Amino acid sequence: MYIEPNPTFEEIEEEIRVIEKVNEAMNEAENRATKKITHKWFATWDGRQQMVQYAYEIWGMDLVTLIECENGTWSQYRQSSVVKNWKREKSFWFCQISQVYHPEIVNTDEFWDNWKWQLDKCNELMKGGTAFYGRDRKIKWVKCSTYVKDRFILES
């Protein structure tokens, strides 16, 4: 018969910290689901407001900032304006997902037809560590991510 050793004080403290982090994350997600966010530049009836709200609900201001800085217009049909060797970069949609690096995402019908699915993929890539550079893009010598907070209204 195997008897598990008693946990050390440090192990118990670590377990408590993990539980507290999980609870904190759950509370944040609940808060996001009850708050309304609107983009100051879009009319209230503009369908892009729904996209902004959905992005906020699934990952908060991190995802909203990523899309605002990568895309700028919240257009589901936006292609990168970057040109290399006389060819336009094949990066598309909300977070400019590259067809070269992520063909498994870009070469699907859902990518082109379902904006929620596309936002979910942006979120997965961001959480998975994919590098996105839009937040560091400069607008009048200031990072885009600095401007973003002034473009949205967050209501409770």
At residue 117 the predicted structure's pLDDT band, cuts being 50, 70 and 90, is confident
How does residue 155 score in pLDDT terms, banded at 50, 70 and 90? confident
**Cα–Cα separations (whole angstroms), residue 77 to 71, 94, 113, 115:** 10, 8, 10, 10
Q: Identify which of 59, 73, 70, 75 has the alpha carbon closest to the alpha carbon of residue 123.
A: 59
Please give the share of the chain, as a percent, with pLDDT higher than 70. Answer: 73
Strand-pair partners of 97: 92
Give the distance, in angstroms, between the CA of residue 129 and the centroid of all CA atoms in the same chain.
12
CA dist 120 and 122 (Å) reads 5
Query: What percent of the chain lies above the pLDDT cut of 90?
Result: 1
> In the predicted model, is pLDDT for residue 82 greater than 80?
no
Over range 50-75, report the average pLDDT.
82
Query: Is the model's pLDDT at 41 over the cut of 60?
Result: yes
